[in-house]
A = this chain, B = another copy of it.
Amino acid sequence: MDFAAEFKHRIARVEAGLERLVPPVATRPSRLHAAMRYSLLGGGKRLRPVLTLTAAELCGARGDAALPAAVALECVHTYSLIHDDLPCMDNDDLRRGRPTAHKQFDEATALLAGDALLTEAFVILAENYAAQPSLSHALIRELANAASSQRLIGGQMEDLLAEHKANATSDELDFIHLNKTAAMIEAALVMGGIVGLAARPPAVASMEMRPGAVALPPEVLALRTIGRHLGLAFQITDDVLDATADTATLGKTAGKDARAGKTTFVSLHGLDASRRLAREHTDAALAAVAALPGDKIFLTTLIETMAGRAS
């Protein structure tokens, strides 16, 4: 397998999906849709939606069955970045190497574009899986919980509170990373798995997706474990990069955490221990991959790539 070529191919599928499933600029109000598309289509590594497509294929999904799920996930991720960059939050001018949404447009437009992308994620899941309401429901349930006040937004909130304290504790940092970063990576993999499950014989799929099903399919459990560890490895690596790389390489302002006096894995545990911790979580993610069916070489290489950015 040529990993780079296959990765590029999957990214291209995601880009085509984003282009197709989000309303065009001509849709009224044009400025709002222009702002949504500016942030959504302005580059980005597309790691989360590629994870969705990859998990779906390993679990038996065919063709582009998981593409709307992948696009919905990227909409939520992009909304969280737009709002995170706003002056009242991180007040960042640069994102993915370009002006942030409120710099390119204005604050109110950026606020509304973020709101609209979050909402659009649920529109996309409700409309594109309308012929399979149980599938649509299962995907929405997973995404809404991952993006909720107890996970993604909760992580953002504690991150914000930690910035205003002299020292965040290790427990606070774990909460932030588990929720701000790992929740959406978990959801990316699990949503792929859910699309894959829906491709099974109807009786099996409906039993497995039944609310409160006692025995969740082992693939979904494995995907959640992979996502959790991969998310933590990814975030620790991000902290390491912020402390060691330059702005041009990152495509966003580097060294920001240290200047802000922010507690990170690096400030709390040091560079060496942070790299070791990232490695441990990566190994745990790779170990959980074993429970998945099919040819897992693309997924394992992707995990290594995502978690190994700092090495």
B23, B36, B211: which contacts A131 (Cβ < 8 A)? B211
- Chain B residues, Cβ within 8 Å of A175: 28
Residue from the set A119, A136, A143, A156 with the largest chain B CB neighbour count within 10 Å: A119
Q: A160 touching B108 by the CB < 8 A rule?
A: yes
CB distance from A189 to the nearest CB of B (A): 19
Q: A29 touching B157 by the CB < 8 A rule?
A: yes
- Label chain A's interface by main secondary structure: helix
CB distance from A98 to the nearest CB of B (A): 21
Q: A111 touching B86 by the CB < 8 A rule?
A: yes
- Chain B residues, Cβ within 8 Å of A28: 150, 154, 158, 175
**Within the oligomer, what is the number of copies of this chain?**
2
What is the number of residues of chain A that contact chain B, defined by CB distance less than 8 Å?
Answer: 56
Nearest B residue (CB) for A158: B29
0 or 1 for each of A90-133: is its CB under 8 Å from B? (1 = yes) = 00000000000000001111011011101110110011001101
Q: A145 touching B133 by the CB < 8 A rule?
A: no
Would you mind naming 10 contact pairs between A and B with Cβ atoms under 8 Å apart?
A36-B149, A83-B111, A83-B112, A88-B106, A89-B108, A112-B157, A112-B160, A116-B149, A116-B153, A119-B149
